Structure 1
């Protein structure tokens, strides 16, 4: 019986020491992520967007759930004109954010990225989501109106093209 107690005590000590080591790793990873985020922010302020993107990605490598790094990576990619790569970063931020203001900013920036990528329907949807989270944002409301106009123009152009194709086919049949 005494041997069983000793084995149980040794087992508990080993198990708890592994858990403590895991917590230390997690804390160290969080510190590394914060350090890389700060480094990325300094590079971003110097308008070194490619280097800032690398720093933010390193921060996410240390802590994949670091919302600030995800959002800032999206901003750096956007500034570097990598609009299609920025969109998933904003989507992730919007999905994981608990603060409505942060969600609104993420959707707003996602809409801007989609506008630059000429995805006007996606931009309209993103701006609408931004306004659901922050109905008082006039800049988002303006961007929504622009996106809707561009979407309407795109749809009208497609409709005109279809009509031209149909007219051409009808003309070919008559000849």
Structure 2
């Protein structure tokens, strides 16, 4: 059975108070042995009223609280139970204190308590075992915390990369829209320039044609004034005039052809546990 202290202490108190304290503590131990933890705790607490700060009662209350999984409260009680001059009793208090820390996953504190227990009772095999188990759990806890930290960092990095990709995609889409707008604007400007070029060429051709016709009229008038004299020279001059007009026409057609080629040019943009263990001593 579990170790529940049943100490008979010699104190300088009245016989009635001592009897009441012992009686209540005994009832508590009997209830505890029957696994009626709630009733045992009630008796221990009533005894504490009669004898406050009694290490034995602190120990027994801590034991009942431990069985109720109230480990933080048990730690407080076992810590008070350490205020005793009995090394063996103090060693057991350290043992249960370590077990309370262990169950609360405070492995560093558990290690310290088990070490204190072994200083007082070096041959305590259970304390040695739990000490090593606490060390193992502490390493696992540290590793788990490191893994959790790395996982969190990985999640944060993936989230940041996803946000960066979204921003990059938005930027690419906006750039694509801007480039498309610029390309359309360039095409419109080219079309306007081409239209202006065609109009200029037509006007220039018309002026040249009118000028050529005017010169031809003047030559015809001069030839008519000469009369019949120099008829042969007139025919030769006329042939020469016809040859010059053909050269002018060829030159104009060539200029128009070059202009059309320029208009056809385009600008294309591509963007692209150890299992359960017995935490308390058996008395």
Question: Shorter-chain TM-score category?
Answer: 0.7 to 0.9
Of residues 161-170 and 97-106 in structure 1, the stretch that sits farther from structure 2 once superposed is 161-170
In the other structure, the counterpart of 1:170 is 157
Moved over 4 A (4+): none
Q: Which residue of 2 aligns with 1:145?
A: 132
Please give the alpha-carbon distance, in whole angstroms, between the structure 2 residues aligned to 1:49 and 1:91: 21
Contact 2:40-2:64 at 8 Å conserved across structures: yes
Contact 1:90 1:110 in 2 (8 A): yes
Q: How does 1:97-136 map to 2 (within 5 A)?
A: 97-136=84-123
- 1: CA distance, partners of 2:71 / 2:152: 33
Cα deviations across residues 14-36 of structure 1 (Å, max 9, x unaligned)?
xxxxxxxxx87x44322211111
1:55: Cα distance to partner?
0.4
Describe how 1:22-61 pairs up with structure 2 within 5 A: 26-61=14-49
- The answer to whether the Cα contact below 8 Å between 1:50 and 1:77 also exists between their aligned partners in 2 is no
Deviates more, 1:105-114 or 1:82-91: 82-91
The 1:33/1:157 distance shift into structure 2, 3 A limit, reads same
Provide TM-score, normalisation by structure 1. Answer: 0.78
Change (3 A) 1:66 1:27: farther
Q: Per residue, is there more helix in 1 or in 2?
A: 1
Distance 1:86 1:136 in 2: 25
Deviates more, 1:161-170 or 1:37-46: 161-170
Cα distance between partner residues in 2 of 1:170 and 1:82: 40
Q: Which has the higher contact order (CA 8 A, sep 6+)?
A: 2
